[in-house]
Amino acid sequence: MKTLVPLVLLICFLAHISAAPVAPSVPRDGCCRGHDRKHIPKGRVAHVGMTPSDCRSKSIIITTVCKKKFCIDPDWDWAKKLLREFKKPASTTAEPKCSYKI
């Protein structure tokens, strides 16, 4: 019983830190407070777009199939290429399921 409490606390702590975002997330106004260079597997990306024109800081916003949104550096070549690919007409491939953690 003595070890049960610390074990439960450790599990809660690990669950809490693993739930932290890996890149700056997008607030409700759609403007990013910063951006990161987090590579997100293309198969997990549902949408790619830019921040609204009235935002002070420009970022590429990547939305995953799990509906998580990330602010990505707009000067990063990988992100620019991904944005161009998502501007092309949609393909007929099936959308992946949300079972992958980034």
CA distance 64 to 23: 13
Per-residue model confidence as pLDDT tens for the chain (102 residues): 566 656 555 565 555 554 444 455 666 678 888 888 888 888 899 999 999 888 888 999 999 999 889 999 999 999 999 999 888 776 555 556 666 565
Cβ(55)–Cβ(31) below 8 Å: yes
Domain layout of the chain by residue ranges: 23-87
What's the angle, vertex CA 32, arms to CA 31 and CA 38, rounded to 5? Answer: 140
Cβ(76)–Cβ(92) below 8 Å: no
What global pTM score does this model have?
0.62
As its CATH architecture, domain 23-87 has Beta Barrel (2.40)
